[in-house]
Amino acid sequence: MRRGRRLAVDVGDARIGVATCDPDGLLATPVETVPGRDRPAAHRRLAELVAEYEPLEVLIGLPRSLNGGEGPAAAKVRAFAREAARRIAPVPVRLVDERMSTVTAAQSMRASGVSAKKGRARIDQAAAVVILQGALETERVAGRPPGQCVEVVV
C-alpha cells in the first residue's frame, strides 16, 4: 500500500462530493460538497482542495451500469476527469468504479437517522467516502493503484 493522502470525488450534475483519507489510507472522511452546475468553479475549488490537502492522487468515481457498461453519465465524468487532470497536474487523476456508491451512502445515512431532505448535500460526501474506501481496499488487496489513470492532454 502506497503511503499518502488521497482525495476522492463523486461527480454529479448538481453537486460534487469530496472525501479524503489519512496518509496511511486507513480512514476515509468527508471533506465538503462542491456545487456542480458551474463546472469551471467546481474545477477551481477542486484545484484549491488539491493544493490544501496535497494528495498522492485524486480518485474520481466512474459510474457504470451493473453489467459494467458506460452510459451518458460516465461520458460526463470522463470529461470532468480529463479537465481535472489538466488543471491539477502533476497530481495524477484515476477513474475508479463507483457502482452503487450513492445507494450505499444513502442507505448508511438513513440507517443513522439522517433524513433524505436534510442529508442531500451530505450524501455526495458520503458517496465520495464509499468510493475512497473501496479504492483503498482494492489497492490493499491487489497491491497496485486502483482504476485507470487519466492522461493529461494539454
CB of 11 closer than 8 Å to CB of 62: no
Residue 152 within any structural domain of the chain: no
Per residue in 72-98, pLDDT (tens digit) is 999 999 999 999 999 999 999 999 998
Q: What's the structural domain count of the chain?
A: 1
Helix (H, G, I), strand (E, B) or coil at 6: strand
Residue 106 within any structural domain of the chain: yes
Cα three-residue angle 79-85-89, rounded to 5 degrees: 165
Instruction: Return the CATH number at 103.
Output: 3.30.420.140
Global model pTM greater than 0.85: yes
Mean pLDDT is lowest, of 14-28, 86-100, 107-121, 127-141, for 107-121
CB of 31 closer than 8 Å to CB of 20: yes
Q: What are phi and psi of 51, to 5 degrees?
A: -65, -40
What is the pLDDT at residue 54? 97
Residue 15 within any structural domain of the chain: yes
Residue 121's Cβ-side half-sphere holds a number of Cα atoms within 13 Å equal to 6
At 123, the amino acid letter reads I
Give me the domain span that covers residue 21: 6-147
Mean pLDDT is lowest, of 1-15, 20-34, 67-81, 97-111, for 97-111
Question: Does residue 28 surpass a pLDDT of 70?
Answer: yes
